[in-house]
Amino acid sequence: MTLAKTPLYDWHHAAGGRLVDFGGWSMPVQYTSIIDEHNATRTAVGMFDVSHMARFRFDGAGAGDFLDKLLTRKASVVPMGKIRYSLVCNDEGGILDDVLIYNLGEGDNQYFWLVVNAGNRQKIAAWIEQHLPSEGVVFTDHTLETAMIAVQGPKAIAAVQPLCDVPISDLKYYSGALGTLCGEPALISRTGYTGEDGVEVTVPAAAAIAIWDQILNAAQPLGGLPCGLGARDTLRLEAAMPLYGHELSESIDPITAGLTFGVSFDHDFIGKDRLEAARDAAPPMVRVGFRCADRRVPREHCTVHIGDQQVGEVTSGTFSPTLNQPIAMGYVDPAIAVSGTAVEIDIRGKRVAAEVAPLPFYSRPRT
């Protein structure tokens, strides 16, 4: 299969980015060092090409009602300019994807914008088409004609603001606005997947490299670096943000995944009855964090034990640059989902000592 390329592919290639297959896209995993890129994001600015994420638009009088049915969050009551985290579930309550739903535009130009994981683009587009009413909703895929750049870190706003006519400081977390960035029409949102403050900007594909260069020129004097998916993974894992295909899948429901905040039960949506049942039942397992004293890193599928009992399984693990120790997330029996519980994790046939740790591993200092 030929890998898709984002509008920034040529830049990544020229910059020496190590390109890997991610969700069917050729993406940079790192340019220099994951740890350096991670630390730049925690202390200054990290820039990420996230154009591989799918971007869908919904217009029409019926769009709100349709999205209400599709999403665990009630899209039709999201205030103008606001963004909500939501799940898309199948009839059994299994998670088809985790998404962000935006309410944008104004008056007659109001529309909804949906950002979907790269690897789920075709699946979710097909799911939408399958449930789309015959009239009243216009669904369009804008993934290929736009680029999306995440600018993250304590100095991200300082880097982007001089290039942008949207007053970013006035945008609250999980808000977005349409405006102009480097002279091009842009969607600016106060969102991200790193645990830091920052923005994600969506711009025309043809302008992507020029805009990337201008933001990078502004970010570099502040200590900023371009970052690959490697740092994106260590950053999101420290912030305990779930990743589809690891913590989330069709075989787990949002309640069990610890994402009840992304479900509103005040409307009808696909999978609702299963989620209500999950809400009212004892959870079969609980998503927790693990910290290890040793330096061997637990990875996905490593099993978690107490004595001769298996009590859970790791879904993601990495070496935390911030904490300077291995960290992981996974699911365990509810009985041991207590911070400080001593467990052992089987890493390639050898057990290492770990303890159940509170999530997130990292919270940014609030100013």
Partner 1 sequence: MDPSQLLYAKTHEWAFVEDQDGGKVATVGISAFAIEALTDLVYLELPKVGSQTTAGQPFGEIESVKAVSDVYAPVTGEVIAVNEELPNKLESLNDDPYAGGWIAKIKITDESGLANLLDQPAYEKQCQEEG
Annotated binding site for substrate: 200
Residue 294: CB atoms within 10 Å: 14
User: Can the peptide bond before residue 154 be classed as cis, meaning omega within 30 degrees of 0?
Assistant: no
Query: Is-contact 126 139, C-beta < 8 A?
Result: no
Binding of partner 1 at residue 230 (CB under 8 A)? yes
Binding of partner 1 at residue 318 (CB under 8 A)? yes
Q: Closest Cα to residue 161, out of 111, 201, 115?
A: 201
DSSP β-bridge partners for residue 318: 327
Please give the biggest Cα pair distance in the chain. 63
Q: Which is nearer to partner 1, 13 or 172 (CB)?
A: 13
Q: Which is nearer to partner 1, 66 or 319 (CB)?
A: 319
- Work out how close the CB of 49 gets to partner 1 at its nearest, in angstroms, rounded to a whole number: 18
DSSP β-bridge partners for residue 116: 54
Binding of partner 1 at residue 29 (CB under 8 A)? yes
Among 234, 256, 315, 316, binds partner 1 (CB under 8 A): 234
Q: Which is nearer to partner 1, 172 or 295 (CB)?
A: 295
Binding of partner 1 at residue 5 (CB under 8 A)? no
Binding of partner 1 at residue 14 (CB under 8 A)? no
Among 57, 246, 296, 351, binds partner 1 (CB under 8 A): 296
Q: Tokens in use for 94? A: 């299994």
Measured in Å, how far apart are the chain's first and last C-alpha atoms? Answer: 47
Q: Which is nearer to partner 1, 33 or 43 (CB)?
A: 33
- Work out how close the CB of 204 gets to partner 1 at its nearest, in angstroms, rounded to a whole number: 32
DSSP β-bridge partners for residue 112: 58, 103
Query: Is-contact 34 226, C-beta < 8 A?
Result: no
Q: Which is nearer to partner 1, 32 or 90 (CB)?
A: 32
| Sign of CA pseudo-dihedral 8, 9, 14, 20 | positive
- Work out how close the CB of 295 gets to partner 1 at its nearest, in angstroms, rounded to a whole number: 4
How many residues make contact with partner 1 (CB under 8 A)? 17
- Work out how close the CB of 189 gets to partner 1 at its nearest, in angstroms, rounded to a whole number: 28
Instruction: Tell me how far the alpha carbon of residue 165 is from its chain's centroid.
Output: 26
Among 299, 305, 351, 364, binds partner 1 (CB under 8 A): 299
Q: Closest Cα to residue 234, out of 348, 362, 109?
A: 362
Which stretch, 26-34, 58-66, 135-143, 263-271, contacts partner 1 (CB under 8 A)?
26-34
Q: Which is nearer to partner 1, 215 or 302 (CB)?
A: 302
- Work out how close the CB of 203 gets to partner 1 at its nearest, in angstroms, rounded to a whole number: 29
Query: Is-contact 305 298, C-beta < 8 A?
Result: no
CA distance 1 to 6: 16
Site string for partner 1, 30-59 (x = CB under 8 A): x-xxxx------------------------
Query: Is-contact 116 9, C-beta < 8 A?
Result: no
Q: Which is nearer to partner 1, 176 or 230 (CB)?
A: 230
- Work out how close the CB of 160 gets to partner 1 at its nearest, in angstroms, rounded to a whole number: 27
Annotated binding site: 200
Q: Which is nearer to partner 1, 215 or 304 (CB)?
A: 304
| Residue 291: partners with Cβ closer than 8 Å, 6 or more residues away | 323, 325, 326, 327, 354, 355, 357, 361
CA distance 26 to 49: 11
Radius of gyration (Cα) for the chain, nearest Å?
A: 21
Among 321, 330, 345, 361, binds partner 1 (CB under 8 A): 321
Residues contributing to the site for partner 1 (CB under 8 A) = 29-30, 32-35, 230, 234, 295-297, 299, 318-319, 321, 326, 348
